[in-house]
Structure 1
Amino acid sequence: MNKQTVISELQDILAKDHILIDEELKNHTYTKLGGKADFFITPGTIEEVQEVIRYAIRKQVPFTLLGNGSNVIVRDGGIRGIVLSLKKFRAIRREGNKVVAESGARIIDASRFALQEKLTGLEFACGIPGTVGGALYMNAGAYGGEIKDCLEHALIVDRGGDVHQVLAEEFDLDYRTSNIAEKGYIVLEATFQLKEGHYEEIKAVMDDLTFKRESKQPLEYPSCGSVFKRPPGYFAGKLIQDSELQGKGVGGAEVSTKHAGFIVNKDNATASDYIAVIEMVQQTVKAKFGVKLEREVRILGEDEEMA
């Protein structure tokens, strides 16, 4: 892969300011971790997304989709090839009692938009930091609600660069999972079926959930949010707390003293530090309680020595 050739060819598809070379991905992740992307691409139209995908397939250039980096760890060696960001796709609109939100919009903002429109059903998402696309990818949820409860359908681009409308039930949405990665879909926008409600009642629920989040989560430090899925019959945070792991870490990363389900970048951690803490937690909980903690967070990219 010749970088100058790829740059020249990408400029036939996108404006120059939509293509960043050797972009530091730590600037695009909530953990503030991650090496460089060879090409960081921010298309502004659906047609540009389609053309970038088709180009990557045709030229066999590695291709990775990155949301707003809230539930992902990028390794210190960064990501080879094209990293596609849909951060320019942020529009949110109302259609009847539905909210239609583009993939790059924050799911928090979709929840707040629903409040302003006096629509109920997205309150649970008022504290989830990911994008709409990322929320669909992992069927994000909190406080008893999840994306599959209100998703009607989504507009996607498939592996061949073609656009389709896909119904919610076709995504196989389950606890923190979907078939989006398996199918190779890129979500462009999502339509949520909501109900008419009362502004003050909706706001009261969102204010309560926001208070719970801010009082319990270590928002003062960079983190990827909740690291582990809830194991059947247990709570991950309780298992970690009972393993006396809070405050323990590797390098600049440690298990939060405020919420054991979080690992924080407390002091200029590397991605290797962060991943090492994840593995330490998994090994300790397995040894102490016989429970295997499964990661909710995705790990992307290469180790530094491989870059």
Structure 2
Amino acid sequence: MDRFELLRTELTRRCPGLELREEEPMARHTSFHIGGPARLMALPRTEEEARETLQAAWALEIPPFFLGNGSNLLVADRGYEGFVVKPAGALEEIRALPPERPGEKGRLEAGGAALLSRLSKAALDQGLTGLEFAQGIPGSVGGGVTMNAGAYGGETAQVLLQVTALERDGTQRLLSGADCGLSYRHSRFSEGDLLICRAVFALPEGNREEIAGRMADFAQRRREKQPLEYPSAGSTFKRPQGHFAAALIDQCGLKGRAVGGAQVSEKHAGFLINRGGATCADVLELADQVRQEVLRQTGVELELEIRVLG
């Protein structure tokens, strides 16, 4: 019996209700719709199931990969010979918290598996402002915190109050927003050794009509400028200091360049899209061509923003 069979047996013993999937196609779990099977996937629905999952995995020295909505992830065509943990169930819940003291900002608590778009809508429903930028971001709260997701001048760091996370041994840790070390597309959680269970956001009260108007404006801008009709992982490259990746790629005449089913979007040069049947190898080869050409023509070196697994 290999370690993964041992892990499955141990998780079944510890958590009889835990959903486990073997050889799960990762293309089903990424916005790119690309990727071979993961050896084993667990979908814990409660913090207790998540705790048992981490304890069992690390006891067998099998590092878990934490998966949110897969919106910033490219998985190898051969798949991932590892253990994927994708929180679900109660870890997707969002609720308003009562103020702890008079005059305190409004607070929303969201499970790590909740979608940022749902969180933004919940803020609107409560008349709270500060999360309008998240309206069209397809990631989860856990992914948004990990990557300090942002758009249109807003970012997670501006509104994050605290995070409840689990360590390798299942110990619960409470981190303040400042403790999370959020910076451009990076945080304390980027190393993958802490599982985000819940996050609390502090938000000022606002005018619902104005909040809804900003959200509608951001949504319209996305529809007009981004290739939402094709699978992708959003912006493929990080923003180089003093430049914009999309502008550099466009300047170098790379819009429309394709490798297999992968293409530099003709609508937004910062997006590499899956026009149909693209493989991980196609995307990586195209990304490499883009990097080399931009470096040759401009002297600027682009860095991938998307994460590659497997």
TM-score normalized by the length of structure 2:
0.94
- SS of alignment partner, residue 196 of structure 1: coil
Mapped contact 1:14–1:43 kept (Cα < 8 A): no
Match of 2:161 in 1: 152
Q: CA deviation at 1:183?
A: 6.8
Gaps of 5+ in 1: 302-307
**CA 1:236–1:247 in structure 2 vs 1: closer, same or farther (change >3 Å)?**
same
Counterpart of 1:49 in 2: which secondary structure? helix
Matched, 1:208 2:217: yes
Matched positions, count = 301
Contact 2:3 2:60 in 1 (8 A): no
- CA displacement at 1:24 relative to structure 2: 0.3
Q: Is the 8 A contact 1:62 1:80 kept in 2?
A: no
Please tell me whether the aligned partners of residues 18 and 42 of structure 2 are also in contact (alpha carbons under 8 angstroms): no
Structure 1 length normalisation: TM-score? 0.95
The answer to whether the 8 Å contact 1:159/1:185 transfers is: yes
Residue of structure 2 equivalent to 1:34: 35
Please say if 1:126 is aligned against 2:128.
Answer: no
Deviating beyond 4 angstroms after TM superposition, the runs of 4 or more aligned structure 1 residues are: none
The residue aligned with 1:94 is 96
Q: Decide whether aligned partners of structure 1 residues 12 and 250 sit closer, same or farther in structure 2, where only a CA change above 3 A counts.
A: same
CA RMSD of aligned residues (A): 1.3
Counterpart Cα distance in 1 of 2:245 and 2:206: 34
2:187 maps to 1:178: yes
Shift in alpha-carbon separation, 1:93–1:25, aligned structure 2, 3 A: same
User: Residue 5 of structure 1 corresponds to which residue in structure 2?
Assistant: 6
**Partner of 1:223 in structure 2?**
232
- 1:85 matched to which residue of 2? 86
Aligned to 1:305: none
Contact kept? 2:12, 2:18, Cα under 8 Å: no
Unaligned runs of 5+ in 2: 99-105
Q: Tell me, what secondary structure is at the counterpart of 2:85?
A: strand
Deviates more, 1:112-121 or 1:182-191: 182-191
1:111 and 2:113 are equivalent in the alignment:
no
Distance in 2, Cα, partners of 1:16 & 1:98: 32
Q: Distance in 1 between matches of 2:249 and 2:111?
A: 36
1:217–1:258 Cα contact (<8 Å) kept? yes
The CA distance in 2 between the partners of 1:161 and 1:279, in whole Å, is 39
The percentage of counterpart residues that share the same residue type is: 41
In 2: Cα distance, 1:29 partner to 1:208 partner? 27
Aligned to 1:242: 251
